């Protein structure tokens, strides 16, 4: 087998391969002999059909299969011989396919970039630290109570945070518009669910009252036909219900799977959950800074095959998340290219750090992480056991731990500043930068 390689770009390779005709003929004859053993042809007993008849009937198909298999196997032999690392399937262009002649074809493909990860010292990381105070805990209990608010019908006028049951009809330029009417819909005043002015216009209304609201759709409203237009809504208030916060009692605690522990037991469990969320938030923010630093310090070219695969994966995820009848390939690739490139580049960089520093998942940390996740369940021992009986889930945890070890490796050389902050600041999501 003869192989020559041409570098057509930084990552693209054009490999010409010549395979001796004898190898093709050997594969063709092998297939014909297998066919002869089971071929059923009138006038001949099974296994007794002359090879000339078998060759006449089946050689074309056998040769096509043989050529396909030899192209595939010789390609992989060639990349191993040339010590190349393809980043995707090759594009194959046959040059000579004639019977009796050496097989010649050209395979064009991308390879993974070769690089060494560097620049750890230039990465700046701000590592937050915080505690869960009693005030933080009290605030969380209030949030949990509000999330479980019940509404009771009242005769008084509506206030912010009341829930109204309303019918409404909307008109633009005196005409009813699609989607602008509803009956018996529930609306909590102050929730911001409706366009500006709608909810404010119902403050002070009572059950049975009808109000006409003159409002204007925002300029950036999602329905462009309505954006910026004045509208009139005729609203009938069917009922007004005031919020009732649940008491911190056994019935409330039971909703969270906590029984017979009382208020102190409930506070203890909530604090544990808050501390777990705090640890995860701090770890996530440190990781994001490290990954941003690795990206900035290690600009690398991305194989198009990997980028396309990641774009398609993100398309599928988007369809699964948002539903609808749309097909993944109907979503514009441009929507996902930036995110896909970040994920692909980071994947390559992280893999290279693992290789450079010969990292392997720390099994003690794997168990610690599984126990941490299991602690959020009522039967943590069963959850731990489930992970260790499920290879796929266990390997996913190992991957997470390995990524954490990559972060730790970078932090050993990075410029790290510790900063004490409040619980709220520590768990607050990082805002995405605004586009100019």
* Residue with more model confidence, 326 or 213: 213
Please tell me whether residues 240 and 260 are part of one structural domain: no
Please tell me whether residues 98 and 226 are part of one structural domain: no
The whole-number pLDDT of residue 165 equals 98
Q: Where are the alpha helices (DSSP H) in 298-328?
A: 304-322
Tokens of 130: 């915080």
Please tell me whether residues 259 and 166 are part of one structural domain: no
CA separation (Å) from 87 to 50, 75, 106, 302, 360? 46, 14, 17, 10, 23
Please tell me whether residues 42 and 180 are part of one structural domain: no
Q: For residue 19, what are the contacts with CB-CB under 8 A and spacing of at least 6?
A: 1, 70, 74, 102, 103, 104
Q: For residue 105, what are the contacts with CB-CB under 8 A and spacing of at least 6?
A: 16, 17, 71, 92, 93, 94, 95, 96
Confidence tier at 436 by pLDDT (50, 70, 90):
very low
- Is residue 131 included in any domain, yes or no? no
Q: Specify the CATH number for the domain of residue 399.
A: 1.10.3120.10
Please tell me whether residues 168 and 235 are part of one structural domain: yes
Please tell me whether residues 262 and 388 are part of one structural domain: yes
CA separation (Å) from 73 to 20, 23, 271, 337? 13, 11, 59, 33
Q: What is the pLDDT of residues 206-235, one digit of tens each?
A: 999 999 999 999 999 989 999 999 999 999
- Is residue 118 included in any domain, yes or no? no
The whole-number pLDDT of residue 323 equals 74
Q: What is the pLDDT of residues 126-185, one digit of tens each?
A: 999 999 999 999 999 999 999 999 999 999 999 999 999 999 999 999 999 999 999 999
Q: Where are the alpha helices (DSSP H) in 39-133?
A: 51-81
Bridge partners, 175 (sequence order): 172
Please tell me whether residues 264 and 412 are part of one structural domain: yes
Q: For residue 79, what are the contacts with CB-CB under 8 A and spacing of at least 6?
A: 15, 85, 86
Please tell me whether residues 260 and 369 are part of one structural domain: yes
In terms of residues, how long is the chain?
436
Please tell me whether residues 335 and 413 are part of one structural domain: yes
Please tell me whether residues 163 and 230 are part of one structural domain: yes
Nearest to 155 by CA among 213, 236, 237, 234: 237
The whole-number pLDDT of residue 93 equals 95
User: Residue 298 and residue 346: Cα distance in Å, rounded?
Assistant: 10
Kind and range of the H or E run holding 427: helix 423-427
Q: What is the pLDDT of residues 38-47, one digit of tens each?
A: 777 777 777 7
The whole-number pLDDT of residue 432 equals 57
Percent of the chain with pLDDT over 90: 81
Please tell me whether residues 420 and 295 are part of one structural domain: yes
- Is residue 335 included in any domain, yes or no? yes
The whole-number pLDDT of residue 206 equals 97
State the residue range of the domain holding 320: 253-427
- Is residue 257 included in any domain, yes or no? yes
Q: What is the pLDDT of residues 349-399, one digit of tens each?
A: 999 999 999 999 999 999 999 999 998 887 899 999 999 999 999 999 999
If one counts the domains in the chain, the total is: 3
- Is residue 119 included in any domain, yes or no? no
């Amino acid at each position: 087998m003869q192989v020559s390689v041409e570098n057509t770009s930084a990552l693209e390779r054009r490999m010409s391969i010549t395979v001796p005709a004898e190898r093709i003929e050997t594969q063709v004859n092998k297939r014909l002999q297998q066919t002869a053993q089971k071929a059923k042809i009138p006038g001949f007993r099974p296994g007794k059909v002359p090879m000339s008849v078998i060759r006449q009937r089946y050689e074309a198909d056998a040769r096509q299969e043989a050529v396909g298999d030899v192209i595939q196997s010789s390609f992989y032999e060639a990349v191993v011989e040339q010590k190349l690392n393809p980043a995707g399937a090759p594009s194959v262009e046959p040059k000579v396919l004639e019977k009796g002649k050496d097989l010649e074809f050209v395979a064009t493909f991308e390879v993974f970039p070769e690089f060494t990860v560097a620049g750890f010292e230039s990465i700046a990381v701000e590592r937050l630290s915080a505690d869960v105070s009693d005030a933080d805990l009290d605030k969380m209990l209030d949030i949990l109570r509000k999330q479980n608010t019940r509404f009771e019908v009242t005769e008084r006028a509506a206030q912010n945070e009341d829930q109204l049951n309303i019918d409404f009809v909307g008109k633009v330029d005196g005409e009813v518009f699609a989607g602008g009417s509803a009956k018996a819909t529930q609306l909590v005043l102050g929730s911001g669910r409706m366009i500006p002015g709608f909810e404010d216009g119902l403050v002070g209304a009572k059950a049975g009252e009808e109000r006409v609201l003159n409002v204007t759709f925002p300029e950036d409203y999602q329905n462009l036909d309505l954006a910026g237009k004045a509208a009139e809504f005729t609203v009938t208030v069917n009922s007004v219900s005031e919020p009732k916060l649940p008491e911190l009692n056994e019935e409330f605690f039971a909703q969270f799977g906590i029984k017979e522990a009382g208020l102190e037991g409930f506070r203890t469990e909530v604090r544990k959950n808050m501390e777990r969320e705090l640890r995860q938030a701090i770890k996530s923010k440190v990781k994001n800074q490290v990954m941003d630093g690795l990206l900035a310090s290690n600009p690398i070219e991305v194989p198009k095959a990997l980028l396309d695969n990641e774009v398609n994966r993100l398309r599928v995820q988007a369809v699964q998340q948002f539903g609808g009848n749309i097909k993944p390939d109907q979503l514009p690739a441009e929507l996902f290219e930036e995110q896909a490139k970040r994920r692909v580049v980071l994947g390559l960089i992280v893999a290279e750090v693992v290789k450079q520093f010969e990292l392997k998942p720390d099994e003690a940390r794997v168990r610690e992480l599984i126990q941490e996740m299991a602690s959020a369940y009522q039967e943590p021992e069963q959850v731990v056991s489930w992970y260790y009986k499920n290879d796929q889930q266990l390997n996913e945890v190992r991957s997470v731990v390995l990524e954490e070890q990559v972060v730790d490796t970078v932090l050993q050389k990075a410029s790290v500043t510790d900063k004490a902050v409040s619980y709220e600041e520590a768990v607050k999501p990082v805002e995405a930068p605004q586009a100019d």
